[in-house]
Amino acid sequence: MIAAFDNALGMYPIIKAKVKETAGQDVVNGLYMADHAQMTAALNNIHGMAETAVIQDHKQGSGTAVSITGEFFGAVLAGLAGDVAPLSDFITQSMAKLQAQTRKSHVTKNFGTVIGLVSLMPELNVPVTTFRYVYSSSKTAQWMTSILCFSTENYSYDYNYEVVDYIYDPTRQTLRVA
């Protein structure tokens, strides 16, 4: 698991470089401004990386910034064993940083972030490294940057987003999933 975790951490500079090379966009403080096609083109150019799934979702309702962030990451990280509540402070702080960078940037179409996950495949007792590109539209960016990340004020929300999953296995010669 430690090797898989180290591999995942080492991938972020590679992913950023491939996004710059393929989509012509700099990644600053975890903010990506690529769509599904651009991100897949970039990540498919990384040895051992391949797209495995695409999930489109919609969230609507109201709550505090912290509860909205928790609900969002609970949905994005669905399928992981356990609850995201113990990660609440980390997730909220990470979202605040992404929010600050989004405010500084000029999002014209899409914005998102990459989340690396290392898990153990229970059947085979083998570590699996995956990456998720979670992104939404500029309309969502406008809403997201208007709220205060640690506020107890209630906000209404109504947004769509997409999650694109990629598996990373550097030991594979060719990894392409249709």
**73-102, pLDDT tens digit by residue?**
878 876 555 566 777 788 788 888 888 899
pTM of the model: 0.84
Taking residues 25-30, report their average pLDDT. Answer: 89
Q: Cβ distance 130 to 108 under 8 Å?
A: no
Q: Per the domain annotation, does 67 fall within a domain?
A: yes
174 within a domain of the structure (yes/no) = no
Instruction: Tell me how far CA of residue 39 lies from CA of 17, 94, 115, in angstroms.
Output: 12, 21, 13
Range of the domain at 159: 2-168
CATH classification at residue 17: 3.40.198
Q: Is residue 176 in a domain?
A: no
In a domain, 72, yes or no: yes
Among 55, 28, 40, which Cα is nearest to 136's? 55
Question: Which tens digit of pLDDT belongs to each residue from 122-133?
Answer: 777 788 888 999
Domain annotation covers residue 177 = no
Has residue 175 been placed in a domain? no
pLDDT in tens, 112-162: 999 988 887 777 778 888 899 999 999 999 998 888 887 889 999 999 999
pLDDT for 178 = 47
Number of domains forming the structure of the chain: 1
Q: What is the pLDDT of residue 87?
A: 73
Report if residue 62 sits inside a domain. Answer: yes
